[in-house]
Amino acid sequence: MKTVLAIDQGTTGSTSMVFAQDGTVLGRGYREFTQHFPEPGWVEHDAEEIWQRTLEATRDALGQSGTTPTAVGIANQRETIVAWDRHTGEPLHRALVWQDRRTSQRCRELRGALGEEYIARRTGLVWDPYFSATKIEWLLQNVPDLAARAAGGDAVFGTIDAWLVYRLTSGAAFVTDHTNASRTLVYNIDERAWDSDLLDLFGIPAIALPDVHASSEVVGVVDGSHLGFEAPIAGMAGDQQAALYGQGCWMPGQAKCTYGTGAFLLMHVGERPAAGRPSGGVLTTIACNSVGAPAIALEGSIFIAGAAVQWLRDGLRIIESPEETEAMARSVEDTGGVYFVPAFVGLGAPYWEPEARGTVVGLTRGTTREHLVRASLEAMAFGTRDVATAMSGVAETPLVSMKVDGGAAANDWLMQFQADLLGVPVARPDVIETTALGAAGLAGLAAGVWASPEEFAASRNYQDFHPENQPEGAYAGWQRAVRAALRWAQDR
C-alpha cells in the first residue's frame, strides 16, 4: 500500500500525518514549540527547535503507521522567515514570525512614499509587517555581518518550507514553491519570479533566496539519516493554499476558511490575476490548480482566531481546554452585549491596521466567563464575515458555499453560527486537518500515489451546516466594536 507523509508545520506546533491512498489517517504526531515575545508586538521562533519538534512529530506518525512513505509533502506557516548559514545550516537569528509587528513603521513609510498600488500591482499584497520582506530587511540591518554574508552567498533566507526541505535533504535542496514565494512581498505574481526592483528596494540579494518550483513536483530527497528512509519531497505549499487544495477548491468561485491560530478565507478565481488588483482589503495570492501548478486566489487573513481561545486557556486560565468552549457557548443565550476584538497583533483583512490591539467592550457586572468564551468564538465568525463581504465586492463569482477546516471547525456551535452569519451553507469534511491532506495530495499526485486529482478527492465526505437565523443585530454590534479598536489604534 502506498502512503504519503504530510508535514504541517504551524505557528504553535508541528503536525505530521501519514495518509493511505483512500485518505485514511494511518499515523499522527504533534509537538508544540516555544513562542518567544522579546518585546511588545515582536514574535519569534527558534528555527532549530522547529526542526527538532518536527522530527519528533514525524517519528511518532511513522511509528503509528508502520509504513514507509512513497512521498513527502510539506505545508507551513507562511511569511515567517528564517536566516541560516548556507554551508552549516545554523540559524543566524530566531525566525521572525508572520505575527511579528516590529516593522510596522517601515511599512507606513513605504506606503507613504510609494502608495498601495505600487506593491499591489506587483505582488497582490499590501504594505504590512505580516509579509516577509520587511522582516528580511530588518535582519539584514540588525544582525552583525549578515548583509555581507548574504551578498556573498554564505547566508540565505527562506520561509519555513525552504528551511525544512534544506534540513530534510541535509542541505542538498534550497527551494520554495510559488505559493510561499507569493507571500514574501518580493515575488511578482504576473512574471512568476522574484521582482528585481523590490529586491533592490529591500536590499535583498537574489542569491540569498531559494529557487521557486511548482507545488506538486519532486524538489529533493529526504536524507535517510533523519527518519530512517529515503523518499522524494514532492509537494510544497503554504498552509492556507494547501488547505484550499485539500478541500478540492480548484475551480473559480470555490472557497474555504481555515480556523487555526488565525483564520484564512481563500477563494479560487482562475489561472491569472485580474488586470487591476482587488481593493477593499482583499489580497491576491498564488494558489494551486488541480495538478499543483500556479493559479490565483483572493485571500483575507484574520491574524487571531484560535489563538484567542488559547489565550483564554493560557493567559486568563478561564478554560482548561478548547473542547470546553462549545458547551460554554451554548450555556448562555448570547454574549450579554460583550464583544471581543482579538487584535493582539493588529487587524488583518479587511482593515490592515497593525497598531490595533485586543479590545473587549460591553462588560457589565453580569458578565461571566461563559459570555467571554462565547464572544471569543463569535469573533472568529464575525471576522470571517468581514472578509467574505470584502471579497464579494471584488470577486466575479459570489460566495455560494464555504468549506471549513482547522481545529475550531470541530465546534458544531461555531459552524452553525458561521453559516447563519454568512447566509450560505458551511461544509465540514470528515478530516478537518485539510492542510496536511492538501500537502499529501500535492506530493502523492507528483509521485503517482493518486493517478489524478479526482482520484485523490474521491474519498472526501462532508457534514453541512445550513443557515437557520440571521444575527444581523449581533453583527452590527461587532462592527461597532471594531470601530472602537481602530479608534484606539489611530488615536495615539
Domain ranges in the chain?
3-240
Residues in Cβ contact with 363 at an 8 Å cutoff, skipping those fewer than 6 apart: 338
Of 166, 170, 204, 483, nearest to 353 (Cα)?
A: 483
End-to-end, the C-alpha distance of the chain in Å comes to 61
Give the whole-angstrom CA distance, residue 276 versus residue 287. 18
Integer CA distances (angstroms), 18 to 13, 26, 29, 286, 392, in order? 17, 5, 9, 26, 37
Q: If you search the block for the grid coordinates 527551494, which residue do you land on? A: 175
Class of domain 3-240: alpha beta
Q: What is the pTM of this model?
A: 0.84
pLDDT in tens, the chain (492 residues): 899 999 999 998 999 999 999 888 999 999 999 999 999 889 999 999 999 999 999 999 999 999 999 999 999 999 999 999 999 999 999 999 998 999 999 999 999 999 988 999 999 998 989 899 999 999 999 999 999 999 999 999 999 999 999 999 999 999 999 999 999 999 999 999 999 999 999 999 999 999 999 999 999 999 999 999 999 999 999 998 999 999 988 888 788 998 888 888 998 887 776 655 556 678 899 999 999 999 999 998 888 888 999 999 999 999 999 899 999 999 999 999 999 999 998 888 888 888 899 999 999 999 999 999 999 999 999 999 999 888 877 766 777 789 998 889 999 999 999 999 999 999 999 887 888 999 999 999 999 999 999 999 887 889 999 999 887 789 999 999 999 999 998 887
